[in-house]
Structure 1
Amino acid sequence: MSVRRFTGAKIVVFGGSGVGKTAFVVRYMTRRYIGDYDRNKEMLYNHKIPSPRDDVTLEIIDTAAKDNENRENHIKWGDGFVFIYSITDRKSYEYINTLKDMLVKIRGPDMPAIVVANKCDLLSVRQVEDSEGVTLAEQLNCPKFDVSVAEGYSGVSEAMEELVIQLKREFVKNCSQAAVTANDKTKSKLFTFKKGFKKRISRSHSDTV
């Protein structure tokens, strides 16, 4: 019997314009920081994580903030989600709240996800309190990470490592559920076969009496 292994997942990165979505993704994949991007352009990246058994390939969609028409399709497509807002931009927080409600409505409350509060090096111009980010994460039943994509790689890496762990757990859970379902079907078929076999024996016995 073959054993299924976790070899990849699809990740959607959501966030308002200028919050650092693309910088977050590029920092994660390359460790480099590049701050100037086209804010209205959607990008699809492939990132390979080396593994002793099978490499893990992540498909990462960096969504365009103004592409409202495809938000529902992105939610249906993704296996895991990154919700980024800037602590210096109140509207970016409100935008993520709207997307959070969409995710819960379409996919349920327990999808693999992380909340990322970016630009934490700019506390003097903060517009979103830490407690508000914590509340958002609690509503999604997921962890929250305070990062500065511009200042370092470690916070970004830690956040994405947590998401990959969640994705692996979800994969194992789905495999277990599939195995239980398959086992139940096998038992049902066996029961039906035994029941029919007993009826045939009963009829055969009646015919000979």
Structure 2
Amino acid sequence: MRPPTMSGHFLLAPIPESSSDYLLPKDIKLAVLGAGRVGKSAMIVRFLTKRFIGDYEPNTGKLYSRLVYVEGDQLSLHIQDTPGDVQAQDNLVQMVDSLSKSVQWAEGFLLVYSITDYESYQSIRPLFQHIRKVHPDGKAPVIIVGNKGDLLHARQVQTHDGLQLANELGSVFLEISTSENYEDVCAVFQHLCKEVSKLHSIGGERRRVSVIPRPRSPNMQDLKRRFRQALSSKVKAPSALG
């Protein structure tokens, strides 16, 4: 299953100036999970900057935050990069445990493997199962991504393998090349944001906030004038009664 085709509706946006009445943007919390050297960090940086940085030094554990628009809806997007230096054949249990905090925090997930690394593909199922264990209601959306689709000469995982796994797990699947196709990278994040946003809509409408301007400091001369007027009226009152 693939996400629907998407065009330029995903825009990085500046933080708007305060207005008298506006909707707080929804907080969208995503986590990108997978084995080491599958291109997780490069995917995130490519999505946010449109630049491919080659052999990017993984910035695992870093949280990226941006204000974005998805089809006119303003979102406060947070993307958690995660460590993946423990390979499946080493100690998969240790890898899953190290990701528990990120899985508990996030609302939507990208599970990334490299088509040139069969062991990274094997780590997807236990990661998915761990997500469903932490989020047992089954509502947290998950997208399985086969990355490095441009390295066909080194392919170890066939496209139908990714599709079959996604169908078994009831997930969306997309095979991409982070280095060659920004649109596909954008489509992955956009689709996941939309799915998480739907959950927010089901849970309740966003809170409307009125921004009340800070009151000006009192004018001391004006206060003194009012005080003198009040005293004067009190003094005149007895003579008026007489």
TM-score by length of 2: 0.65
Aligned-partner residue type, residue 172 of structure 1: S
Q: 1:144 maps to what in 2?
A: 173
Shift of 1:173: 1.8
- The partner residue of 1:45 within 61, 64, 77 is 64
Q: Give 2:193's aligned residue.
A: 164
Structure 2 residues without counterparts, runs of 5 or longer: 1-21, 87-94, 206-242
Q: Which residue of 2 aligns with 1:105?
A: 133
Indicate the SS of the match to 1:105. Answer: helix
Query: SS of 2:41's equivalent?
Result: helix
> In structure 2, how many angstroms separate the alpha carbons of the residues matched to 1:110 and 1:16?
24
Is the helix fraction higher in 1 or 2? 1
Displacement, 1:53? 7.3
Q: How far apart are residue 135 of structure 1 and its match?
A: 2.4
1:115 paired residue number = 144
Aligned length: 175
Distance 2:103 2:55 in 1: 26
Q: Equivalences for 1:53-64 in 2 at 5 Å?
A: 55-64=74-83
1:20 corresponds in structure 2 to 39
**Cα 1:164/1:45, change in 2 over 3 Å:** same
Q: Which amino acid aligns with 1:88?
A: T
Calculate the TM-score normalised by the size of structure 1: 0.75
- Give the direction of change, closer, same or farther, for the CA distance of 1:126–1:46 in structure 2 (3 Å limit): same
Instruction: Name the structure 1 match of 2:108.
Output: 80
Distance 2:74 2:23 in 1: 14
Task: Identify unmatched segments of 5+ residues in structure 1.
Answer: 177-209
Among candidates 113, 117, 120, match of residue 92 of structure 1: 120
Residues 40 and 66 in structure 1, CA contact (< 8 A), matched pair in contact too: no
Alpha-carbon distance in structure 1 between the residues aligned to 2:25 and 2:67: 13
Residues 54/147 of structure 1: CA separation in 2 closer, same or farther (3 Å cut): closer
Distance in 2 between residues matched to 1:157 and 1:5, nearest whole Å: 24
> Which amino acid is 1:166 matched to?
E
CA distance in 1, matches of 2:70, 2:115: 35
Query: Alignment identity in percent?
Result: 32
> Structure 2: how far apart are the matches of 1:151 and 1:51?
23
CA contact (8 A) 1:6 1:168 kept: no
* Matching residue within 49, 72, 91 for 1:30: 49
Report the aligned-residue RMSD: 2.5
Paired residues of 1:13 and 1:62 also in contact (CA < 8 A): yes
3-state SS in 2 of match to 1:172: helix
Q: Look at both structures and tell me which one has the larger radius of gyration over its CA atoms.
A: 2
| Residue identity in the other structure for 1:164 | C
